[in-house]
Amino acid sequence: MASYRLIFGIIVGIILSFFTVYFFNMMSIINNIELYAGADLIRAIALLTGSNFDFDIITYVLESPPSILGFFAPEILAWIFIAYISGTIAKGLKRGFISGIVVVVLVLLIWVVSSIFAGVDLMDLFTVQLIETLGGIISAILGATIGGLIGGLISGPYEESL
């Protein structure tokens, strides 16, 4: 039998991923989305989902003195929040972790597919900017892992009902 809490948590996480970065960083990216939203809805979706992967943790770790305040970028806080809500809905440590990771994978797929339809140069993202793109994906996985585990732990153990 399918776990409806897990599926509902994943759906809520995907919906939250479209605008959660703007909870923590209101004005930097929203101006670009206002420019593209009127002309092309697919491009706006690509920008909304792609903004979740902007924090590059690889460059952050490799720069000379990494600061603790620099670690709390809006993107990683957004992923912690998304996975926390998703993990709380899914209920349980394992289900919270699974829901957080599945949300990252699905949002990544939505970002790539919407970027293809919007005509974004993906070759540039995955060749020239490979370190930045991988750093964004790794930071999303890290934030989703932290948030999903915390959300699943706080919500208590999952109880099977017959």
Task: Find all residues with CB under 8 Å of 138, minimum gap 6, and list them.
Answer: 57, 58
In a domain, 96, yes or no: yes
With cut-offs at 50, 70 and 90, classify the pLDDT of residue 51.
confident
In a domain, 160, yes or no: no
Residue found by looking up tokens 């989305």 in the block: 33
Q: Residue 86 has what pLDDT? A: 94
In a domain, 11, yes or no: yes
pLDDT tens digits, residue range 2-27?
Answer: 578 889 999 999 998 888 877 777 66
Q: Is 76 exposed, middle or buried (0-12, 13-18, 19+ CB in 10 A)?
A: buried
In a domain, 17, yes or no: yes
Q: Which tops the pLDDT comparison, 140 or 43? A: 140
Domain count, the chain: 1
> Residue 1 pLDDT > 50, yes or no?
no
In a domain, 162, yes or no: no
Q: Residue 108 has what pLDDT? A: 93
In a domain, 161, yes or no: no
21-59 exposure pattern, b = at least 16 Cβ within 10 A, e = fewer: bbeebeeebbeebeebeeeeebbbbbbbbbbbbbbbbbe
- Residue 134's domain comprises 4-153
Q: Which tops the pLDDT comparison, 136 or 19? A: 136
Mean pLDDT, rounded, for 127-136? 87
Output the six-digit token pair for 38. 């009127």
Q: What is the pTM of this model?
A: 0.86
